[in-house]
Amino acid sequence: MSASSSVSVGFRNAPVCKFLLGSAISSSFLLKFPLKQHQSYFIYTHSQVFDKYQIWRVLTSKLAFLDLKDLFVCSVLLYYFRVFEKRFGSRKFSSYLLGSGVLTILLELLCVFLCRKLEVPLQPLPTGPLCIIYPLFVPFFCDIPRVALSHVWGVPMTGKSISYILGLQAASTSPESLVVAICGLVAGILWRVNFLHLQSVIKVPHCLARLCHHTIGRLFNSKDVHENTTHIGATIEIQRQEAMERLEQQVIWRSLQNSRHQPQNLVNGPGIFGGINNNDQDDLRQRIEEDVEEMEVSEEQVQHMVEMGFSQDQVRHALQMSNNDVSMATNFLLQQN
């Protein structure tokens, strides 16, 4: 691995997420401060929709967050969920947002209508593009591997825990927030099971995708960032070092096991087992590098991870670096993309 390389950070290959995040933040701050007097146009009640037939309010309510706490939480979630756009592509990702968003809005209207008929008091639902955030928890739960990082009070914490905590925080703000969250999760499930073949019906046309790519896509498409990947703070380099250390331990252990009958081959020195000097450590690292390059990988695992949207070269390298550990290899690829 070279000292300087091109790595994928931020919103590279995720222009849709970058556009959604930028538009949500800008519109929310505009309505919160200089255009505060126009906030009423971005809220809807059951009487405005079903009595006055102001259907347009349902759409405008999804354009901006009037609660800055929701804005912060959903901005972080959208940043985490950008991995789906990188994996599926902008057009397929946009089709998912469009389909699941429409389903969520329809379910919200159904809930508002039922509450009105049953005379259940219901305040205006929270504003903002929550209709596209909550459905993403379904593929996030089903497709992103669970990699344990630590334990808090005996409860395993994974790389996905912070997203679940943020989602629960946003959903537990009020009963109306819980209604929106449940509608979004149900919409995500319906889309995943292809309810009424919606995945074939609701799609972003190729011509529209190309037009957006060549116009506003140029403004929101991020380029590669060249940085020194040897910094100890780099996530990819840390994972690589951890993998190398585990391989080192395995090789050292095998060497000790083989040397029980040949103790004269061990050189006295300050090694971790008191038997390997600095020169041997350099040779050991060189042998490990060669072992990583020559390590055989499972073709079944390669094919499975290729179906997740990664290239074969990336998958093979990740499996070699992780000693054929699928969970670690997947996490390696997700951090790299």
Q: What is the pLDDT of residue 2?
A: 39
Identify whether residues 247 and 170 lie together within a single domain: no
Average pLDDT over residues 143-153: 67
Average pLDDT over residues 123-148: 86
Identify whether residues 194 and 81 lie together within a single domain: yes
Length in residues, the chain = 337
Q: What is the pLDDT of residue 283?
A: 54
Give a three-class secondary structure readout of 68-103: HHHHHHHHHHHHHCHHHHHHHCHHHHHHHHHHHHHH
Domain tally, the chain: 2
135 pLDDT more than 90: yes
Identify whether residues 330 and 185 lie together within a single domain: no
201 pLDDT more than 90: no
Interval 15-65: pLDDT, tens: 888 889 889 899 998 988 888 888 889 888 888 888 888 899 999 999 999
Residue 3 within a domain: no
| Amino acid at residue number 296 | E
Identify whether residues 60 and 174 lie together within a single domain: yes
Q: What is the pLDDT of residue 239?
A: 53
Q: What is the DSSP letter of 42?
A: G
| Boundary of a domain, candidates 220, 245, 268 | 220
Of 118-132, 192-206, 261-275, 289-303, the least confident: 261-275
Pairing of strands 148-152, 155-158: antiparallel
213 pLDDT more than 60: yes
pTM value is: 0.64
| Boundary of a domain, candidates 183, 200, 220 | 220
Q: What percent of the chain has pLDDT over 70?
A: 67
Radius of gyration of the chain, Cα coordinates, nearest whole angstrom: 26
The more confidently predicted of residues 285 and 172 is: 172
The more confidently predicted of residues 155 and 76 is: 76
Q: What is the pLDDT of residue 230?
A: 42
Identify whether residues 188 and 69 lie together within a single domain: yes
Q: What is the pLDDT of residue 133?
A: 93
Identify whether residues 162 and 278 lie together within a single domain: no
Residue 5 within a domain: no
Q: What is the pLDDT of residue 323?
A: 66
Expressed as residue numbers, the domain containing 317 is: 229-336
Assign residue 144 the CATH number of its domain. Answer: 1.20.1540.10
Count the neighbouring beta carbons within 10 Å of the beta carbon of residue 187. Answer: 27
Identify whether residues 266 and 117 lie together within a single domain: no
| Boundary of a domain, candidates 220, 255, 278 | 220
The more confidently predicted of residues 258 and 161 is: 161
Identify whether residues 81 and 157 lie together within a single domain: yes
122 vs 309: CA distance, rounded Å: 42
